[in-house]
Amino acid sequence: MKTRWLHFFELLWGMTEKELRARYKYTIFGFLWLVANPILQMLIIGFIFTFFMKEPVEHYYYYLFIGLLVWNFFSLSLTKATPSIVFERALIKKAAFPRAIIPLSIILSNLIHFLIALVLYVIPVVFLGTLSLTRLPYIIGAIGFLIMFTGGLSLLLCALNVRFRDVNFFVQAILIIWFYATPIMYSLTQMPRTLLWLWRFNPLTSILQLFQYAFLGAPPPGPAMLASNITVIIIATALGILVFRDESKTFDDWV
């Protein structure tokens, strides 16, 4: 039993290394793309949206950047993990290894990128003076929820995508909407109070608010928001694990 788990993690790490090694091979800037991407996004959104904001968000470029980092981790993981089982059909047909390795290695490799970018982000934030060590638990909690939600949702979506290839297109479409439904470019304080219940269904709300609170002192998520978001996270993760466990037995029949 113990060796089985050891082998699971060895294989998971091996596949993650493959993802990491293969991604920036033959690129000139390599790892730099990691931060260049969100910086470019931050600059253009920051430039345009400051014209529309009625009440400006404090440290807006920093606010944008952390939101984009989290969002890029989430959306990239989902877009790559959803079709992953179908893409790796040759592996499925070759050997009987734990299938969850395929989507989880994608998420793990993205997570490593995300954490490196996060460390780089902390450096300028230190000079802002909004950081304090007491906020560290919030960051860890936010990362934990983010991993849970991304992992559970990815397992669910990639398992469903094996039978219903529509799921991949659905994810691509929904991610565009989801971006605007998440407080990345705006703050919930700018939204009408009567509509706030809408964000309770989007777990990324609390996750982002925790990050924004911990790094920049933006308003933290309220207890009702946090509770309902965590409920959604737990449901999605449990559903993902259950569906994946059930479906993974017959992946070979469908790819």
Partner 1 sequence: MRVKRLTIGYDILESYKIMNKSNNREEIAIRLSGISKKYEIHHEKPTLVEQFVKGKNETFWALRDINLTIKKGERVGIIGPNGSGKTTLLKIITGITTPTSGQVKTYGKVVSLIDLEAGFHPDLSGIQNIYLNGMLLGLSKRKIDELLPSIIAYADIRQFIDAPLFTYSSGMALRLGFSIAVHSDPDILILDEGFGVGDLSFQKKNKKVMASFFNQNKTVIIATQLLYYVRDNCNRVIILHRGVCKNDGSISMIKKYKHQQFS
Residues that bind partner 1 (CB under 8 A): 3, 6-7, 10-11, 14-15, 17-18, 21-22, 25-26, 90-97, 163-166, 249-254
Pick 231 or 250: Cβ nearer partner 1: 250
Shortest distance, position 73 Cβ to partner 1, whole Å: 23
Distance CA(107)–CA(19), nearest Å, equals: 10
Pick 61 or 254: Cβ nearer partner 1: 254
User: Residue 210, exposed/middle/buried by CB under 10 A (0-12, 13-18, 19+)?
Assistant: buried
Pick 26 or 51: Cβ nearer partner 1: 26
Count of beta carbons in the 10 Å neighbourhood of residue 87: 13
Shortest distance, position 17 Cβ to partner 1, whole Å: 8
What is residue 196's DSSP assignment?
A: G
Pick 93 or 174: Cβ nearer partner 1: 93
Shortest distance, position 12 Cβ to partner 1, whole Å: 9
Shortest distance, position 241 Cβ to partner 1, whole Å: 18
Distance CA(143)–CA(70), nearest Å, equals: 9
DSSP letter string, 230-252? HHHHHHHHHHHHHHHHHHGGGGG
